[in-house]
Structure 1
Amino acid sequence: MGSDGPELGDLLGMGAGIAGCLVVGFGVGWLVDHALGLFPVLALVGLLLGIIAACFYVYGQFKKFM
Structure 2
Amino acid sequence: MTGLQPGSPRQGLATQGDAWDTQWDMFRALIGATVSVLPLGRPHDQVPSALAERQGDHCVASR
TM-score scaled to structure 1, two decimals? Answer: 0.37
- Name which one, 1 or 2, has greater alpha-carbon Rg: 2
TM-score scaled to structure 2, two decimals? Answer: 0.39
The higher-RCO structure (CA 8 Å, 6+ apart) is 1
Higher helix share: 1
